[in-house]
């Protein structure tokens, strides 16, 4: 929720804000899988998994549980495929048509405050640093240092600017009065 700047979740979000509803369902499923080991928790987890599968199909997402850190922000509906072994830090902004996957049995590790542009492809046993901007349709198959912007096929550093203006700080906006 915080990634979309909603201090409260309302029941009508499931109808007019499906991305927020998807993220809430994803986080609830992660919580019940990790923390609730009682029988009622397991039953509700089964309901949440079914609901998450249905939402994923409708929105075009393949996002496993426990991959993204807090502050995930999905910009648009559309194809979004993430391998279950990928690890992504907090405050990640992801656009549509993004693939984050495996190559030679290894998956990427993505840092905090990363902006991933539309159509980007990220694969292999690489590490992407913090505050990185990945441009639209970039193919990232090599390590990326922190605080840079990469773009192209294959992705190369095009700027020393970080992602601070593209990745919105949800928690700061919620706290601001």
Tell whether 113 and 133 lie within a shared domain: yes
> How many folded domains does the chain comprise?
2
- Edge-to-edge, what's the strand order for the sheet holding 109-110? 87-88, 109-110, 127-128
What confidence category does residue 71 fall into, taking pLDDT thresholds of 50, 70 and 90? confident
What confidence score (pLDDT) does residue 1 get?
39
Predicted TM-score of the model (pTM): 0.83
Tell whether 80 and 131 lie within a shared domain: yes
pLDDT in tens, 109-129: 999 999 999 999 999 999 999
Measured distance between the N- and C-terminal CA atoms of the chain, rounded to whole angstroms: 18
pLDDT of 9 above 70: no
Contact assessment for residue 82 and residue 107, using Cβ atoms and an 8 Å cutoff: no
In a domain, 116, yes or no: yes
Task: Point out which residues pair with 93 in neighbouring strands.
Answer: 73, 115
Lowest mean pLDDT among 18-22, 105-109, 115-119: 18-22
In a domain, 16, yes or no: yes
In terms of residue numbers, what domain contains 36? 2-62
CA distance 78 to 49: 20
């Amino acid at each position: 929720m915080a990634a979309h700047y909603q201090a409260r979740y309302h029941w009508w979000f499931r109808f007019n804000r499906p991305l927020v509803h998807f993220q809430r369902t994803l986080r609830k499923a992660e919580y019940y899988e990790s923390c609730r080991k009682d029988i009622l928790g397991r039953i509700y987890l089964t309901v949440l998994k079914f609901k998450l599968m249905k939402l994923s199909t409708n929105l075009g997402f393949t996002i496993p549980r426990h991959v993204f850190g807090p502050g995930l922000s999905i910009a648009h509906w559309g194809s979004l495929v993430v391998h279950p072994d990928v690890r992504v830090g907090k405050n990640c902004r992801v656009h549509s048509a993004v693939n984050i996957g495996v190559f030679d049995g290894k998956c990427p590790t993505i840092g905090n405050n990363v902006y991933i542009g539309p159509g980007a492809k990220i694969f292999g046993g690489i590490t992407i640093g913090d505050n990185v901007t990945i441009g639209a349709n970039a193919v990232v198959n090599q390590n990326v240092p922190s605080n840079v912007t990469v773009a192209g096929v294959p992705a190369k550093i095009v700027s020393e600017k970080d992602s601070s203006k593209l990745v919105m700080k949800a928690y700061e906006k919620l706290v601001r009065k």
